[in-house]
Structure formats: C-alpha cells, structure tokens
Structure 1
C-alpha cells in the first residue's frame, strides 16, 4: 500500500493519517463533498493497521514458541 506521495505506507504513517482524519471530522473541517472519500480512506487505513498488528502478533507468538522449545 502506498501513500499519496509514492512512499511505502508504514503503521506509524497510517496511524498519523487516521488521527488527522479523526481530528478533521471532530472539528467539522471536512467538506461534505470529501466526507465519503475520507471515510473510505480511514477504512483502508484501519484494515492496513489491523493486518500489521495481526502479523506482528503472529511473529511474536512464533518467536516465543521457538524460545520455549
């Protein structure tokens, strides 16, 4: 997944973008014409973050299981 400037999206960048969208929503700073687009973007970012967390959890479990053996 890429950000708008062709950089690789990271968990940290996704969280920061989500926070920015949330702040704009809370302050009513998103024009109605862009609202659906921002909500869709937030959904994509949330899915990305969940995937990253699931992968990290699996890796940690694998490492801990190897250590216990």
Structure 2
C-alpha cells in the first residue's frame, strides 16, 4: 500500500479527500463488489486516510502555533 495518494490523485482538500473516502465506503457496502475493484478501492482508501490524517496533523500544528502566539501576546500585555 502506498504511503500517500500519487501526486496526480492527491485531493485538493481534506473535504474532497473525505468525500472520496465516503464514496469508497458506499461502494464497499454495496451488494455487488468486484474483488479486483475492491482491492483497488481499499488501497486508495488507505492512501486517502493517510492524506487526511496528515492534513489534520498540519492544521493542528498551525492552530497550536497561533494559540501560542496569542498566549505570548497576552502575557506581554500583563
């Protein structure tokens, strides 16, 4: 399984990656699932999960940086 979606298949945003994951889940929950297609979908889902997790981590770091800056500014005012 690849570590992240290939560049040409990287979703432009977290929301689009999540939407594609939901489409894959709907497909896999269907009554007629082709084995080869399922393998491809599961591999793609793994790459999308990793992409979304990385975006969440990146945003979390950005939020923490902003909070630290605000905290430091407030402490300077006191």
TM over 0.5: yes
Give how far 1:10 is off: 1.3
Q: Is the contact between residue 2 and residue 9 of structure 1 (CA under 8 Å) also seen in structure 2?
A: no
Unpaired runs of at least 5, structure 2: 1-6, 73-78
Aligned-partner SS, 1:2? helix
- Segments ≥4 residues shifted beyond 3 Å: none
Q: Is the contact between residue 18 and residue 42 of structure 1 (CA under 8 Å) also seen in structure 2?
A: yes
> Residues of 2 paired with 1:38 and 1:49: CA distance?
16
Root mean square deviation of aligned Cα: 1.6
Unpaired runs of at least 5, structure 1: none
Q: What is the TM-score of this pair, normalised by structure 1? A: 0.85
How many residue pairs get matched? 66
Structure label with greater radius of gyration:
2
Q: What is the TM-score of this pair, normalised by structure 2? A: 0.76
